[in-house]
Every structure is written in structure tokens, then in C-alpha cells.
Amino acid sequence: MIKFTERQLKVPRFMRPVYLVTGGQSQYARAFPEKRTEELCIDALTMAAEFIGMSPAELKGYIHTCYYGHFADHFGDQLLGESVIHDRLGLDPLGNIGVKTGGATGGSTIWEAAKAVASGYSDCALAMGWERMDEVPTDEGNNYIACAADKDWETPLGHIYTGYYATMAQRYWQVFGKSQDSFRRTMAEISVKNHGYARWNPFAQSPMDITVEDVLKSPVVAYPLRVLDCCLMSVGAACVIVADEETAFKMCKNPLRLYIAAGSHSLRVADRRDMEIPLLPNETPDQYQDLDEVFPGGHRYPGFTGFLAARMCAWYAYRMAGVKDPTEDLDFVELHDAFTISDIQTYEDIGIRPYGRGRDYVESGDCYLVNPRTGKQGKLPANLSGGLIGCMHAVGATGIMQVVECALHIWNRHAEIHGNPKLWKSFGKQKPKNWVDVQVPNARRGLAISHAGVGSHVTCTILMHPDHLLKEE
């Protein structure tokens, strides 16, 4: 579809408010040769229970239905892997279902759990996600990932996802980035930032103290993308518990309001037809009229320069939650930085900057906790967890990890977890001597974007402290 009816553009509505009660995560690593997936999932659920002062058994006593995000069955050679985890968590005979939407699996899993609570079906639901990509050699893994493209029209072409994804990056690089060295450096700065923030996150897989030059010198994967422009490949698990108001306040003192919406676009990027840009509340119809003049080649929307699915999930979620301008209304974000360049594309898709102007979010310093240009607090810090580049991309868990990280900021308990030397030690690491607390001061509202590959599925989750809602109900 390239035109939508009013019915299709209905602002999504929960039948009753949905609250985030708690969340947890496992350690993330490229491989866990001596751990089964269920061990990681139990780590995550146990952390979620302890976080609200419950035993795992007490927490389980509240759960009514379970939503499991696990994308790549074939990597683990186990169909119905969700059922295995459900049993190992000891949650039978509760209803459960598996969710698979590529890189957006984590976000989609929360989407399902939230709707179960919103509808009244369940008063409390578990959303748990994980991924296991360490059981095959790299070339077989590349083939498996390429199977998430169209099997007749794309996969036989090299069996390599880069070939289907990176042509989008190329188009953005040349049209909106104008192939400029300055733009290339801005891309690199995102990697420096996210690997840098990962240093303070005990769960993170790839903490690095690097420079823009290091990124620019890293090996080319597919020009303009280099190794340090790309997200990690990870194993790990994360979970959240959502509940209705009454149950949520029984389970903990300060649950957070949760809104979530989803969008989609064709799996084959080939099928993306030219259309009008759906506008966010902070955009005007005339503002894109000269897009092709300023950025020659920028005429086709979304073409390969925008992600319609990301635009649409923000379109729905902002209206659902009352967000008028993300930079003004939100205090921080966790974005799906699969690649440095797609991170910039997301700034535009979700309205942090207008189309074509995404780089300014980095260049202004707004995306930092402390703006390196001004020394003051950044306007809208992004990916303080380290994101997919610095923390992890354990596909089914990623979107859930982001929401857990967001919640810790609003609860003002980020340092309690990330700064706990015992946690560092339990992961076989030592808490850095120069450890930095990246708690966002007075965090009230945060957003997380969960995005699948070429943009087939994207979800937008918005968390708010209940005293700081934007919309009357």
C-alpha cells in the first residue's frame, strides 16, 4: 500500500493502561560455548525478580501469559525453542507464543505482551527474548542470515545479507551524506560514542576506547561501511514484565507507563514504491518540497534513504502517547544502531531531525549524555547502553534489552545495576576503575526503536513516569 485509509491510520488505543513492572538481562557475548540458552534466560528472569525484591517463584506467580522473542530457529537447529525455554522457566501450563520479526523481534514481543494486558486477557505478562548465533561457522551463519531475505530473488545472490542491506546505506551515503568526508567522520563518531558508553555497562560485549580514526581505519565490509560501523553478533537474553495498573502497583512501588506501536515495509527492498512522506506531529507538509534540490536524488520516498516501517511506528506511537516533538518531549532514546549510517537514517524516520538532516543530531552533540561541544547535558542522549554496536545484538533480546535500559534511567536505578562491582565480577570482568555513571538526570520519558534488517518490521516503545504523562486520558 502507498495510500492509507482513515481506519488504517487510527491512533492505536489500549483498552486500559499498560505498565512496565521490571526487567532483567543476561550477560552478552559472541559465544557461550559452555552455557545453554535457558541458563541465560533464567539469569534474566532472576534479575527481573530480584530487582523488585521478589524471588523468581514469587514473580512467576503473577505471570498469566508468556511471549517469547527468538528469531532464528535454524541457528539453534531447534524448532519450538520457545517451548523448551517455557518449560525450563517452569511456566507450563500457561499460554505462550513465539514471536519472530527479524531484528525487531524483541520490540514485537513486548508489543504482543502489552496488547495482552491492554485487552484484559492477562493482568501480568512476560516478554522474554534471546538469540543463539554461535552454533555454526561464520559462512554458514552468513547463509542463515541471508535466508531472512527473499529466498528466490535475493538469497541466491551471494547468500550474504550485506548485499541486500548495504545498497541502502550506499544510496543514503551518496544522496544525503553527499559522500563527504565530514559525513563519514560523523558516522564514525557514532561508533566511538556507542563503544565508549559500552565501557560502563557490565552486560556489554564490546566496550572500546577508540577514536574516529580507528573506525576509519577498520577493514571495509562493504564500502562505505567498515567493521566498526557494524553492530555485534551476540548471544544473550533479556526480559520485561508488563501488567495492568492494579497488578503493577501490587508488584512494585513505581511501575512505568508503556506505549508501543509497530510498522512494516516490504521484505524485498525492490518492492518499495514511491509515495508521499507520512508526516510526524513536528513536521509540516511544505518542509520537504525542496528535498530533491538540496539533496539531488532525494526525490523518491522512502526509496533506500528512509525506512517507512520506522516512520509509521513513530507515527502511531507519538499520537498514542502524546509526543509532539521527540527531542523536546523525551529525555533519552535507545535506537537500533545496526550500522552507524542506519542510526542516522532512524533519527530522520522518527523525527529527531528532518529527512536529510540526521547528521546534525550527532554534530550538534545532542545525542550525548554530556554534549562534548558545550560541556552541558545533551538534549537527547542516545544509546547510553552502548546499543547494538557496543552492547549487543542478540536479535530476539535486543529490543527488550533497550527497554530494560530505558526503564533503569526513569527509575533512577541505572547506576545501582551498572555500577555494581559484584555484577561485573559475576560476568568474569572487573568494574573499570574510571567507571562513569551515565544515569540521565531527572529522566521522565524514554523511547526505544526495534528494527528488522532492511526495515521489514519496526516497533517504537515509549516509557513514561506516570507523573509525567503527555496525554490526558
Partner 1 sequence: MNNQAKVWIEKGAYKIKGEFSTPEPNTPIRRKDGKLCGVTNPRRLVHMHSYGGEAPFFEGLAQGRLLGTQCVNNKCEYKGSIYIPFRIFCPDCLAKMKIVDLTAKARKTARIYSYVVTSRTGAFNTLETPIRFIDLEFEGVSTILKSYLLVGEPEIGQRVKPVFRVKPTYTITDLAWVTADTKKPPKGFHL
Q: Is the dihedral of CA 50, 52, 57, 58 positive or negative?
A: positive
C-alpha cell at 104: 525487531
Closest CA to 388 of 190, 254, 245, 211: 190
How many Å apart are CA 462 and CA 89, to the nearest integer?
28
Q: Which of 143, 218, 254, 371 binds partner 1 (CB under 8 A)?
A: 143
Q: Please answer whether residues 305 and 345 qualify as being in contact, where contact means their C-beta atoms are separated by less than 8 angstroms.
A: yes
Q: x/- contact string, 364-403, with partner 1 (CB under 8 A)? A: ----------------------------------------
Q: Which of 45, 168, 237, 323 binds partner 1 (CB under 8 A)?
A: 168
DSSP 230: B
Residue 420's CB is within 10 A of a number of other CB atoms, namely 13
Q: Is 158 in the site for partner 1 (CB under 8 A)?
A: yes
Q: Which of 52, 97, 216, 222 binds partner 1 (CB under 8 A)?
A: 222
Closest CA to 68 of 54, 89, 47: 89
Indicate the SS3 state at residue 56. helix
Q: Is 39 in the site for partner 1 (CB under 8 A)?
A: no
Q: Is 90 in the site for partner 1 (CB under 8 A)?
A: no
Q: Which of 58, 92, 121, 223 binds partner 1 (CB under 8 A)?
A: 223
Q: Which of 167, 374, 430, 442 binds partner 1 (CB under 8 A)?
A: 167
Indicate the SS3 state at residue 411. coil
Min separation Cβ 350 and partner 1, Å = 23
The residue count for binding partner 1 (CB under 8 A) is: 48
Name the residue type at position 102.
G
Q: According to DSSP H, which parts of 176-289 are helical?
A: 181-198, 212-217, 245-251
Q: x/- contact string, 289-318, with partner 1 (CB under 8 A)? A: --------x-----xx--------------
Cβ nearer to partner 1, comparing 141 with 281: 141
Q: Is 160 in the site for partner 1 (CB under 8 A)?
A: yes
Q: Which of 59, 169, 261, 438 binds partner 1 (CB under 8 A)?
A: 169
Q: Which of 5, 13, 34, 286 binds partner 1 (CB under 8 A)?
A: 34
Min separation Cβ 303 and partner 1, Å = 8
C-alpha cell at 170: 550506499
C-alpha cell at 329: 518531549
Residue 189's CB is within 10 A of a number of other CB atoms, namely 21
Q: Which residues bind partner 1 (CB under 8 A)?
A: 1, 3, 33-34, 77, 137, 139-146, 150-154, 156-164, 166-171, 174, 221-223, 268-274, 297, 303-304
